[in-house]
Amino acid sequence: MNNIRKYKGRVISKGMAEGEALVSHMPFSFMGSICDLASGTIYLGGHDLEGRSLKDKIFIYDTDYMSTSGCWGLLNMATIFKSGPKAILWREAHNISANAAIYARIPAMDHFEGGAPYEFIKTGDWVRVDAEKGVITVTKR
Amino acid sequence: MKLSDRDKQMLNGMEGQAVQEAMSHLVALGEAFGADEMVKVDSCHLLIDWMLAGDAGLQLYEKFANMKAKLRVHTTVEPIAFDLDRWDEFNLPGEFYEKQKSINLALKKMGAILTCSCQIHFNHNQPKFGDNLAWTEGNATGYANSIVGARGNRESTISSFFAGITGRLPKYGILCDENRQPKIIIEIDRKVADAVSTRGSGTTSSELSLLGMTIGDIAFDKIPAIVGMPKMTNEELKNLFSMCSPALTATLVHLVGITPEAPSLDAAFGGKIPKGIEKKRITLKMLQEARESLSQASTTAVDAILTGCPFKHIYELQEIADLLKDKKVKEGIDFLIFTDRSIMAQAKVNGLQERIERSGARLYQDACPVMFPHRLIHGPNKVFATDSVKMIRLIRGAGKPSWYFGSLVELIDAAQTGKFKVPLRKKGV
């Protein structure tokens, strides 16, 4: 199957997940200034995923910026609102979200051998994240 | 990761369940980021307001307080959504006060000092050269890293708390020597340097804000070495780091000739400037573009004017009182100024609170507008004005007020007239 490819990366938060990819090329903050924490909908005008929801997605973005409270944001999404992503893949993990991912057991990885994950994964692709072995399997859609 | 005997004891539960859970998380964090060892943490600064911490943060703090966790190092805390003494002027849903009281109680039990301030580096949590900090506040770590030579990542709300419980952090990010070298040189044009040096005129606040914003946007995830920065006061430096910090992944900005690790440009790079290093230059035109991008409101009428992000120091309150003189804030317009409790005490004894508030403006302590539930209490039709890029960047998204950006002089004019005079031009923050 030539539409299926595997990529190795660095494990930031252990676990397994699979689902549909939602891909941003931009840095992100779970603070609530970019997305609505209760629903997971990205509501910031001008964001490349404006109007989309990251709930239950394999969420791919560049790295964290804006506010260290993004850590609380992701933790609330994961544990209180159940609106968080199934897994997160970054170009470069930042401790802001990595800490929430580790604490809430959201599988997460970065440093992929194919480069930034948004370079080889598109929104809608099916992604299986094995953040035990450090491998993701991408099925193009 | 190499753990000390004490680290292993904590990990094995010999210092109780709370310490074990915190250490276990920090070990997982250190392994994820490839840290070689743990380092001693010298102080903590936690993010505690319920609007941002939510029930998840409340539950985490209460869980550890119930496990009898103690914060082992000096620990201060960030602002909250209301003034603890004038809470009834904040028009918040009752839940806010109740949840915040619960968080405050848990933190007091664990030994945190309820400073409710983002300028703790100026009073209750002064860093020293070489200190390892577990701080959540970007403007404060920016100052500590860049002016004092202390070491602090933009530490997450969870890791900063667990660092307080254990007194340890993985040696990662810019706690490591090798990650503190610049990756980009940014030159400040002479005209820009002149524009941010007009002290006392009330216009500095916006120029400096724009310079900070531009440095942050250019540098993003590369630590910058800044050439051509004029000498500044502590308050001006505080503002500069506040404006660049939201855009930076690490808040270390080498101000050549000011930063202890950068007495010269060569020294910032450890002796030799790498060939082919990226170079950028900040011009007045870039500051003007930044200014235009910040004012997004569709009407010139403003509902509220907010200043004090970061919190005002005593000299900045003096400047506001002087600029206000005998001016009056127009009826129906909220002119809100924010500071911390220590500065408020000084403002009272020096007559500044009285001079500011007789204009109709209100000076609050503890509270920060970034922690207000804007969608709930203000909605999308309100128009606010501020001199803080950080405030505009952190209070945005659907359902929230729109903004004007300007200098203190422009803000005070808007407070008197109810209208903001800067013309609207381009789009996009």
Query: A135: part of which helix (H) or strand (E)?
Result: strand A135-139
- Give the gap in angstroms from C-alpha B351 to the nearest C-alpha of chain A: 35
The pLDDT score that the predictor gives to residue B296 is: 82
Assign B428 a pLDDT band (cuts: 50, 70, 90). very low
Q: What are phi and psi of A85, to 5 degrees?
A: -75, 160
The pLDDT score that the predictor gives to residue B201 is: 66
- Give the gap in angstroms from C-alpha B27 to the nearest C-alpha of chain A: 11
**How is chain B split into domains, by residue range?**
5-178, 182-291, 295-417
Structural domain boundaries enclosing A73: 4-139
Average pLDDT over residues A80-93: 98
| Bridge partner residues of A4 (DSSP) | A139
- In this predicted structure, the answer to whether residue B202 has a pLDDT above a threshold of 80 is no
The pLDDT score that the predictor gives to residue B423 is: 53
Q: What percent of chain B has pLDDT over 90?
A: 91
For B153, the token pair is 């990542």
Q: What percent of chain A has pLDDT over 70?
A: 99
- In this predicted structure, the answer to whether residue A65 has a pLDDT above a threshold of 80 is yes
Interface predicted TM-score (ipTM) of this complex, two decimals: 0.97
Q: Inter-chain contact B158–A12, Cβ cutoff 8 Å?
A: no
CB A54 within 8 A of CB A85: yes
Q: Inter-chain contact A32–B397, Cβ cutoff 8 Å?
A: yes
CB A68 within 8 A of CB A101: no
What span, in angstroms and rounded, lies between the C-alpha atoms of A135 and B333?
Answer: 57
Taking the model in full, what pTM does it have? 0.96
The pLDDT score that the predictor gives to residue B321 is: 96
- In this predicted structure, the answer to whether residue B186 has a pLDDT above a threshold of 80 is yes
Rounded (5°) CA angle A45-B238-A46 = 5
B349-400 tens-digit pLDDT: 999 999 999 999 999 999 999 999 999 999 999 999 999 999 999 998 889 9
The pLDDT score that the predictor gives to residue B298 is: 80
Residues 6+ apart with CB under 8 A from A100: A30, A70, A71, A72, A73, A74, A75, A78, A106, B156, B158
CATH topology classification for B295-417:
Aconitase; domain 3 (3.30.499)
Nearest alpha carbon to residue B26 among B13, B15, B35? B35
- In this predicted structure, the answer to whether residue A46 has a pLDDT above a threshold of 90 is no
The pLDDT score that the predictor gives to residue B200 is: 61
CB B312 within 8 A of CB B340: no
Question: CA-CA distances (angstroms) from residue B265 to B162, B191, B257, B409?
Answer: 36, 21, 8, 36
Q: Phi/psi zone of residue B295: left (φ > 0), alpha (ψ -120 to 50 degrees), beta?
A: beta
A32, A80, A95 ranked by CB distance to B156: nearest = A95
Query: B336: part of which helix (H) or strand (E)?
Result: strand B334-339
What CATH architecture is B5-178? 2-Layer Sandwich (3.30)
- Taking an 8 Å Cβ-Cβ cutoff, which residues of chain B contact chain A? 25, 28-29, 32-34, 47, 52-57, 59-60, 136-138, 153-160, 172-173, 220-221, 246-249, 370, 393-399, 428-429
Average pLDDT over residues B151-173: 98
3-state DSSP assignment of residue A87: strand
> Which residue from A minimizes the CA distance to B395?
A33
The pLDDT score that the predictor gives to residue B429 is: 44
CB B67 within 8 A of CB B142: no
B232-264 tens-digit pLDDT: 999 999 999 999 999 999 999 999 999 999 999
A13 catalytic per annotation: no
- In this predicted structure, the answer to whether residue B153 has a pLDDT above a threshold of 80 is yes
Q: Mean pLDDT in chain B?
A: 95
Residues 6+ apart with CB under 8 A from A47: A24, A26, A34
The pLDDT score that the predictor gives to residue A45 is: 85
Here the CATH number for the domain that contains residue A32 is: 3.50.30.10
User: Among positive and negative, which fits the CA dihedral B140, B145, B148, B150?
Assistant: positive
For B61, the token pair is 């703090």
B59, B153, B395 ranked by CB distance to A33: nearest = B395
- In this predicted structure, the answer to whether residue B88 has a pLDDT above a threshold of 90 is yes
Average pLDDT over residues B306-315: 96
What span, in angstroms and rounded, lies between the C-alpha atoms of B159 and B67?
Answer: 18
Residue with tokens 């991912």: A101
How many domains, chain A?
A: 1
Burial readout B346-380 (b: 16 or more C-beta within 10 A, e: otherwise): ebeeeebbebbbebbbbbbbbbbbbbbbbbeebee
The pLDDT score that the predictor gives to residue B421 is: 84
Q: Which of A29, A39, A53, A67 is catalytic?
A: A67
Residue B6, judged by CB atoms within 10 A of its CB (0-12, 13-18, 19+), counts as: middle
Q: In what order do the strands lie in the sheet with B278-282?
A: B254-255, B224-227, B184-188, B278-282
Amino acid (1-letter code) at residue B246: P
